[in-house]
Amino acid sequence: MALHRAAQVASVLLAGLIFGFTGSMQTHAADNAFMVRPNIPTDNKAPKNSNYFQVQLKRHDSRQLGLTLYNENTQPLKVNVAVLNAITATNGRVVYVPAKQVDRKMLPRPVSELIHYPRTVTVKSRTITQLTLTVPAQAPLFRGTKAAAIQLTGQTTGGKGKAAVTNRVRYQVGLLLQGKKVTQTPQLAIGTKTWPTKLVNPRLKVQVVNANPHFIRNATFRLDVQGARALFLNYHKRVSGIKIAPNSQFQMGFGFHGARLQSGYYRLQLHVSGTAHKQAMTRFIRVSRGGDITYVAQRDYQLARRWLWLVLGGIVLVVAALVTWLLVVRARRRKNHASSH
């Protein structure tokens, strides 16, 4: 099996760059390591030459996935195997966690509970071992996409006595399982949770909810903030490269450096754009003098906005009355001047 260690590590981590799969390798001894190669099936749905699994499941049919493990050590290698579930971390980063860290309200059936696999595999010295993971037939078949990563961790000790060196290598191979096709465009939502902010250089945080079984791979968010009582309180912030795991929610922060909020009512408009996803969401908030934020109804914002227009209208009426009075005075003076001659 002619596999070059550096090339294999690079290929596994490349899958992480595409879909947010986080791969890591920790090593302390160049001569103690193992290599992993996913056995990509011929019907893999991922782009050609990809090193992650993206397979379509069929109702009542089980599916097997394979990885090739090679131990180039002079000692047997124990490899720990785990299937981790995709969730979305703060600011749109996909991370992979055990089932106990999954929000069951968002994802009742994590991938790790659907797959059968050995938790440990022993690879003899300088040999190849095949690791098989089985996805049993799903009845009923779930909708959309489930995302996960297959994590393999090997650890050996090289040398003797004080010269002994511990070597740990960890791979994460991406896994996307596709169930029933979902035709509708995924729609995100703004959650109800809020976080306080500073009024000077504020950082507004929004809870984004993806209740859909869709993996959003490269989205751009733009948050527009408009004050109700001051037209100049109008801020915009754009963030790109956001990845969102299926059936997950996360906190998205928008920093407005140099801005200064006042207590009062504001309109938030969150615009989402991506390869096949465009959406705009609107919410209304009230900011207290201490920076606490509360979601309010649209009518509260409109009432505050109406107050602004009443003030502006009053100013316009006063200016109009003043201009009218000046014109009348000027006309009388001209008339008096003309009659005196």
Per-residue pLDDT of the chain (341 residues; tens, 9 = 90+): 333 333 333 334 434 434 444 333 333 344 446 889 999 999 999 998 889 999 999 988 999 999 999 998 888 899 999 999 999 999 999 999 999 999 999 999 999 999 999 999 999 999 999 999 999 998 899 999 999 999 999 876 565 666 556 677 889 999 999 999 988 888 999 999 999 999 999 999 999 999 999 999 899 999 999 998 777 778 999 999 999 999 999 999 999 999 999 899 999 999 999 877 889 999 999 999 999 999 999 999 988 887 665 566 667 667 776 777 777 767 677 766 666 65
pTM of the model: 0.80
Asked if 121 and 69 count as a contact pair (C-beta separation under 8 A), the reply is yes
Residues of the chain with CATH 2.60.40.10: 5-178, 189-296
User: 189-296 has which fold?
Assistant: Immunoglobulin-like (2.60.40)
User: From the CA atom positions of the chain, what is the Rg in Å?
Assistant: 30
Supply the CATH classification number for the domain 5-178.
2.60.40.10
Please state, in angstroms and rounded to a whole number, the distance separating the CA atoms of residues 46 and 286. 45
pLDDT, tens only, 240-267: 999 999 999 999 999 999 999 989 999 9
Question: Over the chain, what is the mean pLDDT?
Answer: 84
Asked if 280 and 229 count as a contact pair (C-beta separation under 8 A), the reply is no
pLDDT of residue 185: 81
Beta bridge pairs of residue 253: 205
pLDDT of residue 22: 39
Comparing CA positions, the residue from 44, 30, 134 lying closest to residue 81 is 134
